[in-house]
A = this chain, B = another copy of it.
């Protein structure tokens, strides 16, 4: 292949230099379309694999180092704490201490509430704020993320688990399945990181996440109505869709609601929302909403204790197991049918948890301008959940609300997570009995005020403005979650995201180009109405790689442009189309189907006496045009560096033929 092609190149080079000597820019020296140096197969594969799996060059720092240093770097890569702890100092610790205490005060009441979303006893929420943050602090690379149970994952896990096991009847099996799912969530996360498949989570689009989160928030808030209104009815629906829940709520209105509960819940919800509002209005008071939940818990618990409102039907927490996490290694199902079910639930929950954590990590890394290695983060998340599943924790991840508080409270490193973790342990060891009289309505109010922040109407409006298709994905996910279930919402979100990708590659855009007056620039005539067409020449730009999925469409679309154009100039001999220039700049790649389509296009054009001319094929495309000898078919001298050059080739001919 090599030699004949080179010869051709030399042959045409001469001609081309001549032919362009006047068409080029000021100093006459026109350029051939470059053929990149032939890579060997191994290099080609290496490059593809590198860009796919190692796009972030994780081994960049290992270059030109001694072996000893490489070992140290590897250990540091797995445990980033080793590298940043060396420069740790008292000033940083001050920031971390304040941030850690703040997020601890926020996380304790939230944990107790979220564990109820997952249908687990309250202590499991606290357990999950002890072990996972410690593991993350050692292995994670984000400095701002706050680790622990989060609302959406708790809800998702609760829904998926209770589809399999009734938690009221078999709490023991239910809990074991939860640990199993957590274990596999961790394995999934670690595997994605280790095999560098982290990019898979990018397939859940931003729009879909906005919709999904909003829907989940509403679902969670609705679920809280039971606790908030003090409904005791055992008949309260286990479904999560809005219709079933509201039906249950109003069905119990006459005999099930408890006014004392509503009074307590409503007044503290107001307090929490006001606190939130203050924090939003003035960033200086970020700590107001952060400590408001703990204050609510303390005040309401004290109030119930002295008034003994629990005797009036106000539901209270009653009992939180004292002591730190017991081992749960032997509770994980490593065989039987629950292994498979736990695995499936774990994969879904693990992916969603990752999506949230990675989004948080990236957001704050951008704010402070440091780099996060997504795949390394996943390994850290995976490790923390695997260890968590063995120490009675359920799936933990980065919490958006707590991470934001952490950031604003001035955290410096992951030490703030360690501080939080210690506070949680102290709580578990000494303070849990004090939660006995905490009314459940307060927990409901805390969860409602927390999840409201997940409903991002501004983002939805922006999505509407920018991209209507994204908006459909967003609304699909939202309504799916709200009206059907969390899983269906998720499924809709993923499906629409994929459909969008497929649509993009199946129906790429094409455009007719015209010459912008007083320049040699050719642009889309729709975008630049002043751009003028060259008589007798049709210039089409294809805006995508040409692959099997779109090759036929591209071919037929080009022919349709041609037909449209021919219709317009019908009967006018002078402007009859004689050249079709395909501007290939945006065509980044072409495959065998694409080459076929071009061959067919060439034949169709030939039948109509129209010459096919190509402008600016990229390195990969030109390589393949030669490999398939399509370049020889069209004629190498009909492949130009720019549209202007191609037009220069077509125009004089026109002039000759015109009388």
Contacts and interface: CB of A to CB of B under 8 A. Distances in A.
Interface of A: 1, 3, 5-13, 15-27, 29-31, 34-36, 41, 44-45, 48, 51-52, 55-57, 199, 202-207, 362, 366, 369, 374, 459, 462-463, 465-470, 497, 500-509, 511, 515-521, 523-524, 526-529, 543-545, 547-553, 556-557, 560, 585-586, 588-589, 591-593, 595-596, 600, 603-604, 607, 611, 616, 618-620, 622, 624, 627-628, 635, 637, 641-642, 644, 648-649, 651-653, 655-656
B560 A527 contact: no
Contacts of A551: 202
B651 A15 contact: yes
User: Interface centre among A207, A466, A470, by most B CB within 10 Å?
Assistant: A466
A607 to B, nearest CB: 5
A644 B528 contact: no
B207 A518 contact: no
Contacts of A366: 600, 603-604
A56 B207 CA distance: 31
Majority-rule SS of A interface residues: helix
A142 to B, nearest CB: 15
User: Interface centre among A467, A529, A585, A624, by most B CB within 10 Å?
Assistant: A467
B5 A202 contact: no
A515 B8 CA distance: 20
B25 A55 contact: no
Given A552-B202, A556-B56, A26 B505 contact: no
Contacts of A560: 55-57
B524 A31 contact: no
Given A52-B503, A199-B506, A202-B553, 6 more contacts: A1-B611, A6-B18, A15-B651, A20-B520, A459-B592, A501-B549
B507 A504 contact: no
Q: How many copies does the complex hold?
A: 2
B16 A521 contact: no
B589 A586 contact: no
A585 B513 CA distance: 13
Contacts of A17: 22
A34 B526 CA distance: 9
Contacts of A505: 501, 504-505
Contacts of A593: 205-207
A207 B553 contact: no
6 shortest interchain CB distances as A-B pairs: A5-B19, A11-B652, A205-B548, A586-B586, A527-B619, A543-B588
A59 to B, nearest CB: 13
A501 B501 contact: yes
